[in-house]
Amino acid sequence: MGETPRILVIGTGDTKADELEFIRKCLTEAGGVPLMLDVSILGDPPYQPEFDKHEVAAATGTTVPDIIALGDENEAMTAMSDGAARLARNLHDEGKIDGMLAIGGTMGTDLALDVALGLPIGVPKFVVSTIAYSHLIPPDRIAPDLMMILWAGGLYGLNSACKSVLAQACGAVVGAARASKIDTKRRPVVAISSLGKSCLTYMVALCPELEKRGYEPVVFHTTGMGGRALEGLAAQNALAAVMDFSLQEVANHLAGSVVTSGADRLENAGRSGTPQIVAPGAIDMVDFPTWQPTPEGYEDRPYHAHNRLIASATSDGETRRRVARAIGEKLGVAQGPTAFILPTGGIEQWDQEGEPLYEPEALAAFVDEMRRAVPAGVALHELEEHINSAAFVAKALEIFDAWVAEGVVPPGVPARPETVV
């Protein structure tokens, strides 16, 4: 993309003209090329955007008057969101933009999130928002590589605080676009989910084995946003295979915890037809913020504060049965090859004899329910071992290797020999 990355600037020019003009100036000074995309509905900006609101509406097969005729601001902006996302993706696919920068309050952020989700991973996406990092933003609306900054002082008009934030955002997106590297010769990616490295340890043995086979293992930390990133990549068909062995976020979501990856956790690989090997790592625990009260129903359960941010409590047997049924339902949407490994000897480090979270009766309840919940089209591999055992890793690789041999998983790419100087 050279030294002058082209940045798509998204905002409502009829209400945020001063701010958007300031952004255009800052981007230019930072060495970028600003391309203005106007998502106004009722008014018009005092400048001529490269892409006006009529092009946005046309991208979704409608017109601005038709959108106004909806008579509802939420429906109108949703229609503009769809058009902006489609237009931005088309511009990217045609090689006309190298990154995006959007500004807004709740309305502008709502639209910007759709645009960011529509762009492939690796394309810099920066959103300046008055609700950055807020719980108003559900995990499933966040692109895997989205960057955000709180728009301090950004409610109305330019001021010193507002200018500082906008200038930083401009520098950040231009720098990210210049530094962005997309490896066109990369090895096929195999996603692995895990909850840390002490609770679940299988990736220590799995990663080098996958690398030997010519794959790039990418491990996602299942504390909410990690699972969201995995789901986002799976939805984009960016993965050769998924080893989804930590499903604690499914349990979190069922319990109503804010440590969630969204309602569609464990569904996007299946919907996209991506081959997936699944196991129930850490479903016996529910995470929640340490600084909030223990969730209702977990007050008397075994509890552990991991740090000042995140704590866990274990679930009883009946709750684990609910989790098993939810996992089965999610596996049922799979359109591609799916295998489920059920380790009956324990599903996380502290769930074995002599450890503090060892509850054999609750584990047995889960195993019993899971056997019935696995759909007919999913291959069930029951293993009388712990999930952190060498036998578990061997079983996962056995399934994976069979799929490679059958052509279900694309072949790995041998490592390029190092140049000897």
Distance of alpha carbon 347 from alpha carbon 355, whole angstroms: 12
Q: 13 burial class (0-12, 13-18, 19+ CB within 10 angstroms)?
A: buried
* Residue owning tokens 């140049």: 419
pLDDT in tens, 161-209: 999 999 999 999 999 999 986 665 679 999 999 998 889 999 999 999 9
Among the listed residues 170, 178, 123, 163, the one whose alpha carbon sits nearest the alpha carbon of residue 146: 123
pLDDT of residue 193: 98
pLDDT at 70: 96
Within 8 A by CB and 6+ apart from 376, the residues are none
The whole-angstrom separation of Cα 311 and Cα 363 is 21
Query: Whole-model pTM?
Result: 0.86
What Å distances lie between residue 1 and 88, 99, 121, 244, CA to CA? 17, 10, 16, 35
> Distance (Å, rounded) from C-alpha 410 to C-alpha 215?
10
Whether 172 and 147 have beta carbons less than 8 Å apart is answered as: yes
Q: CATH top-level class for 6-179?
A: alpha beta
pLDDT of 303: 87
What's the CA gap between 274 and 338, in Å, rounded? Answer: 9
Point out the residues of the chain with pLDDT beneath 70. 1-2, 181-185, 416-421
Choices 3.40.50.1100, 3.30.450.20, 3.40.50.12030, 2.30.110.10: CATH for 189-406: 3.40.50.12030
Number of H helices, E strands in the chain: 13, 14
pLDDT score at 416: 66
pLDDT digits (tens, 9 = 90+) for 377-392: 999 999 999 999 999 9
Determine the pLDDT at residue 44: 96
Distance (Å, whole) CA 333 – CA 375: 10
Q: Which residues pair with 9 in a beta bridge?
A: 36, 101
Sign of CA pseudo-dihedral 355, 192, 235, 378: negative
In the chain, what are the domain boundaries?
Answer: 6-179, 189-406
